[in-house]
Structure 1
Amino acid sequence: MITVEDRYFRFNRTLLLIVGLWPYQKSKLAQFQFTCLFSILTSSIIFQLATFVTSKCTANFVIKILSVAIFHMGLAIKYNSFSLNANTIKYSMEQLQCIYDNVKDDAEIAIIERYGNNARYYTIVLTIFVGVSMPAVMIVPFWRNIFHIILSVNQSQSHRLHITTEYFVDQERYFYLLLLHTTVAFCIGVVALLATGTMLIAYLQHACGMLRIANYRIENAMEIHTLHIQGIILPSENLVYKRMIGAIDIHRKAMMFSKYLINKFEVSFMFLIAFGVIALSLNIFRIFQAVTFGYNIEEFLMLIVVTTICVLYMFLSNFIGQEIIDHNNRIFAAAYNVCWYRASLQVQKLILFLLQRRNKVFGLYIGGLFLASLQSFATLTNTSVSYFTVMCSMQ
């Protein structure tokens, strides 16, 4: 028996525990942890938007504030959506456990192991990437001081936050406290994005594993049937029939599992798509301005980090969606390629029933309009670049 949570989701559980989102731990301490972390993240957004109250709102100033504030809003939406859908995460884990409890074939268990390892590799690699990047972001505000210490330059340096905010206090006097708040808020948002994103990737990798098992069952059933015709083995025709039913059943479960998971996060994903495109276009525009007219190194590095996160998240989300589409299509390719004409009438009817599903494309649809795929990733990036060119022409 495969214990899904302990075997494949240990790293995901640790990340979700760090940000207070693990659905199986809902103690008062965990709720307090989530409230504190989410309050820090949302307060950072409020203090960024507060600059509109005290400053003159020119076009460049609005772009400067919104380029980072909208990114933080996306982080807050993703963080909160996982808290609201804690029961969805638990139910999906239980569904996955029930499906795997019925898997007895060694080859199918090997498939589960392979896709479970793929999910774990995604989590580890992305965690290492964030673990290496975050210290660099935290050091950026101090790079001038470190540079002057190394060169033994004896002159006072003015302090400046790498994110434009308005705390209604003397920012020079309370610089380190304000820097701590903005840095901690950014780290909370990115770690929450990492924890929730890798959890969804892990679930969808297991959905790909289920689709691969369906593919294997079709091929295996027809291989058994071919050997039976050739007289090499003599299984009952009922065995082939059961294998085909098993393939259709796990295919249906994989589709239901994926649809259920995506539908529960549909609203938050729609906001993330909109905020992601806007944030990416604004940050590309600011990078263009910085390269053209000169830049502050702290703000420039922050823009690079935000842009990289937006592009990486868009790509991975759509890449996993493309994986679902490709694995689903391979099932129909296997059904097309088998020697169906040699099968019994009952098995032929099952194959025909399976092929009829090919008439409707299956994938991760958001709002019934957006299909997660590499083509959609290209569309999103093209849209962001189009907005960027519009802003450049208006400038």
Structure 2
Amino acid sequence: MTYLETQYFGFNRILLLALGLWPYEQSIFVRLQLILLYSILISFIIFQFTAFVTLKCSVQIVIEICSNAFFFIICILKYNAFSFNLNTVKHLLELLQHIHDELRDKDEVAIIENYWIIANRVNGILALLGLLACSSPLCLPYIVDTIYFTNESQSSPSLHITTEYFIDKERYSFFIRLHSNAAIFISLTALIAPGTMNIMYFIHVCGMFKIASYRIEQAMAKVNLETNKTKGRNMVHIGIIYAVDMHRKAMHMIQLLMSALNMSIFIFFMTAVISASLNLFRIFQEITSGCNIKKLILPSLFLTVIYVYLLLANIMAQQITDHNNDVFVTAYSVQWYEAPVHIQKLILFLLQRGTKHYYVILGGLFVACLEGFGTLITSSVSYFTFIYSTNRI
């Protein structure tokens, strides 16, 4: 794993090491690090729900607490899904290295490396957005106080996260803020690190589909029955076999990844939709009731992070579907009719497999694609409408 780790996975390695999730570094110290980060996240969620003990429950309080807590729950779900599947992550990394080592054609190497470059650029953009998201809860309260409360004493601007630690909040305010800020930073990192790693996997699979298409084109380009009939047939036959083998390996990788994360991602999506609905309601309520700018920071941040994450996940799944379809479009578009009969039978076999589109399906119910993203947005808006209508009764 030395070559790929240094050349293309350095950024992913740093992020996963920060969370104790890099599969090649699992020492006792890393285990303790994992326990510490889990403890910070879980305790912060618990201290949010303990607010129900001391506060008088109302619909407003319930929505405010749940909208915040559910965001941290989806972060810990993502963290948990990755930490419990480190063997699968390691196996996939080894498969990537093995597939790269098998490539001999310089054009095929150029194709897969081009896809890795694209993946690193996407991850770089996500890292910048993640840094901005992590710094927003820390900086925006001070900026808002500077702009709107210049004549008031605001010694410790804070985020509006309702918690109950059962201690003196004024005396231990520094430690409370430290705990909340650490939980936000860990949560956002827990979304970005596994997410960027999954992007590397998905885009690499797209590159493998592209190589399969390239091999079909190159194989059919070698059809030359007039000059060397036997040799031409053999080269075409071998080329088609290599193309089918690459397609099979790509399908195996995506199925291996989805089988490990399938149910956890499905639960993540459903929880994210609920969290988005609650935060959408909070934003709408604040805007209609006077627009306290500081109270808009967190729900706006959480809603944006959720929608961007869901969008990227569905775009990646859509790319898998499109690249898989391109393999069969290529098989249909080449001059297969000029090939020998037994080669035509191989092409026909490919075309028959292409009659049924492949989709990334989560939990056996949800189809991940751009249309699926629209469904998720519609669902979150529908739940928001329901909460708003029932709250007015």
Seen in structure 2, the aligned counterparts of structure 1 residues 216 and 144 have a Cα distance that, compared at 3 Å, is closer
Aligned to 1:42: 42
Residue among 308, 312, 318 paired with 2:308: 312
**Pair 1:183 & 2:181 matched:** yes
**Pair 1:351 & 2:347 matched:** yes
**Pair 1:87 & 2:87 matched:** yes
Q: Distance in 1 between matches of 2:377 and 2:21?
A: 30
Q: Distance in 2 between matches of 1:200 and 1:241?
A: 34
**Pair 1:268 & 2:285 matched:** no
Following superposition of structure 1 onto structure 2, how do residues 29-68 of structure 1 map, counting pairs within 5 Å?
Answer: 29-68=29-68
When structure 1 is superposed on structure 2, of 161-170 and 88-97 the one drifting more is 161-170
Q: Distance in 1 between matches of 2:226 and 2:365?
A: 49
Q: Distance in 1 between matches of 2:331 and 2:142?
A: 61
Please say if residues 145 and 154 of structure 2, whose CA atoms lie closer than 8 Å, have aligned partners that are also in contact.
Answer: no
Shift of 1:233: 11
Q: Distance in 2 between matches of 1:159 and 1:189?
A: 21
Aligned to 2:216: 218
Shift of 1:148: 9.0
Seen in structure 2, the aligned counterparts of structure 1 residues 16 and 157 have a Cα distance that, compared at 3 Å, is closer
Seen in structure 2, the aligned counterparts of structure 1 residues 155 and 194 have a Cα distance that, compared at 3 Å, is closer
When structure 1 is superposed on structure 2, of 234-243 and 371-380 the one drifting more is 234-243
Q: Distance in 2 between matches of 1:237 and 1:316?
A: 43
Q: Distance in 1 between matches of 2:389 and 2:125?
A: 39
Please say if residues 51 and 163 of structure 2, whose CA atoms lie closer than 8 Å, have aligned partners that are also in contact.
Answer: yes
Which string of whole-angstrom CA distances, capped at 9 and with x for unpartnered residues, describes residues 200-259 of structure 1?
01011000000000011111111121xx24759995321111110001111011011001
Shift of 1:76: 0.6
Q: Distance in 2 between matches of 1:349 and 1:85?
A: 40
Aligned to 1:196: 194
Amino acid at match of 2:61: F
In percent, how many aligned pairs have the same letter? 43
**Pair 1:335 & 2:335 matched:** no
**Pair 1:3 & 2:7 matched:** no
Aligned to 1:388: 384
Amino acid at match of 1:113: E
Please say if residues 2 and 100 of structure 1, whose CA atoms lie closer than 8 Å, have aligned partners that are also in contact.
Answer: no
Aligned to 1:370: 366
Shift of 1:157: 5.5
TM-score of the aligned structures, taking structure 2 as reference length: 0.94
Residue 3 of structure 1 aligns to a residue whose secondary structure is helix
Amino acid at match of 2:7: R
Amino acid at match of 2:45: I
Following superposition of structure 1 onto structure 2, how do residues 66-77 of structure 1 map, counting pairs within 5 Å?
Answer: 66-77=66-77
Q: Distance in 1 between matches of 2:368 and 2:33?
A: 33
Following superposition of structure 1 onto structure 2, how do residues 316-327 of structure 1 map, counting pairs within 5 Å?
Answer: 316-327=312-323
Please say if residues 159 and 172 of structure 1, whose CA atoms lie closer than 8 Å, have aligned partners that are also in contact.
Answer: no
Residue among 155, 165, 168 paired with 2:166: 168
Could you list the runs of 5+ residues in structure 1 that have no partner in the other structure? none
Number of residues of Structure 1 aligned to a counterpart in Structure 2: 391
Aligned to 2:128: 128
When structure 1 is superposed on structure 2, of 288-297 and 232-241 the one drifting more is 232-241
Seen in structure 2, the aligned counterparts of structure 1 residues 342 and 158 have a Cα distance that, compared at 3 Å, is closer
When structure 1 is superposed on structure 2, of 286-295 and 356-365 the one drifting more is 356-365
Shift of 1:158: 7.4
Residue among 233, 236, 239 paired with 1:240: 236
Amino acid at match of 1:164: T
Residue 72 of structure 1 aligns to a residue whose secondary structure is helix
When structure 1 is superposed on structure 2, of 307-316 and 125-134 the one drifting more is 125-134
Q: Distance in 1 between matches of 2:315 and 2:241?
A: 30
Aligned to 2:254: 258
Amino acid at match of 1:288: F
Could you list the runs of 5+ residues in structure 2 that have no partner in the other structure? none
Residue 362 of structure 1 aligns to a residue whose secondary structure is coil
Shift of 1:285: 0.8
Q: Distance in 2 between matches of 1:322 and 1:145?
A: 43
Aligned-residue RMSD, C-alpha: 2.1
Amino acid at match of 2:370: L
Residue 365 of structure 1 aligns to a residue whose secondary structure is strand
Q: Distance in 2 between matches of 1:2 and 1:335?
A: 36
When structure 1 is superposed on structure 2, of 355-364 and 324-333 the one drifting more is 355-364
Aligned to 2:278: 282
Amino acid at match of 2:380: S
Amino acid at match of 1:211: F
Amino acid at match of 1:84: F
**Pair 1:206 & 2:223 matched:** no
Aligned to 2:108: 108
Q: Distance in 2 between matches of 1:90 and 1:203?
A: 12
Please say if residues 321 and 358 of structure 2, whose CA atoms lie closer than 8 Å, have aligned partners that are also in contact.
Answer: yes
Please say if residues 88 and 264 of structure 1, whose CA atoms lie closer than 8 Å, have aligned partners that are also in contact.
Answer: yes
